[in-house]
Amino acid sequence: MVLLGASNLTRGLATAIEAAQLICGGPSRILVAAGHGRSFAVYSRVLFRGLPGITRCGLWDELARGPRLPTFALLTDLGNDIAYGVSAEQIIGYVRWCVERLAEHQARIIITTLPLQRLERLSPTRYRIFRAVFFPGRRLGLEQALDRARTVNVALQQLSFERRITLVDQRPKWYGLDPIHIRRRRLAGAYYGILRHWVDADREEPAARKTSTRRWLQSLLLAPQYECVFGFDRYREQPTGRLPDGTTIALY
């Protein structure tokens, strides 16, 4: 399983893994590239921590040299690159790059659209507050951001048609006042609703199960292969986590 995303995936990683194993079974080899403020395209920094772009991290080398297994992949949280000033065309170029690497492994790929319905409800004032909190120093205007988000979603539709990829729209009910982060109580239903398309899109969603505090804390303590903290490079061996059933988790 290859899970690519940013803060939503980081916050909900334990829940996403539980949903994935409920759908696909286990034990599994799970490769994750995620992180708060993570970009697919460029090096990003949030507070004192920096991470390389997802397309430039060590996950791809590990995927290429690992055993050939049935592969399932999720690409989500594509919106950060808009805030970083990356054009819609460039974003789709990076998504295509990921898709091509995953296609080499005959992966069943799911991509989530940007939550445009929720973003379009933002007032200019709330957008400026949101931008200052999550992307300080960035100056992209609301209408520019919305135009790029619309363009990305249209291009994702075309890509899904060309490559026979499953595209899943994010539901407005998953979000609250924060227009980009899924509410914690909605995470279980959201990830099951997204990942069930790996196997059977018509399967009914089970009643949401809250991830245990222990599993949630364990996921937050997973250490990535590389990060820059307070200007110092830090490297760690992978996989960084192992579940009771033998599932391994590698974080990049």
**What is the average pLDDT value for the chain, to the nearest integer?**
90
Task: Provide the percentage of residues in the chain whose pLDDT is more than 90.
Answer: 67
- 3-class DSSP assignment, residue 80: helix
Q: pLDDT for 35-92, tens place per residue?
A: 998 999 899 988 889 999 999 999 999 999 988 999 999 999 999 999 898 999 999 9
The pLDDT, as a whole number, for residue 26 is: 83
pLDDT, average across residues 102-129: 91
| Nearest Cα to Cα of residue 6 among 54, 60, 50 | 54
Q: Among 38-52, 59-73, 118-132, 211-225, where is mean pLDDT lowest?
A: 211-225
**Helices 13-24 and 213-220: angle between axes, nearest 10 degrees:** 110
Are 26 and 245 a contacting pair, CB within 8 Å? yes
Domains along the sequence of the chain with CATH: 2-251 (3.40.50.1110)
Stretch 16-27: mean pLDDT: 92
b/e sequence 199-223, b meaning 16+ C-beta within 10 Å: eeeeeeeeebeebeeeebeebeebe
Torsion (CA) 131, 134, 138, 142 in degrees, nearest 10: -30
Helices (H), the chain: 7-11, 13-24, 59-65, 80-83, 88-103, 116-119, 124-134, 142-163, 187-195, 213-220
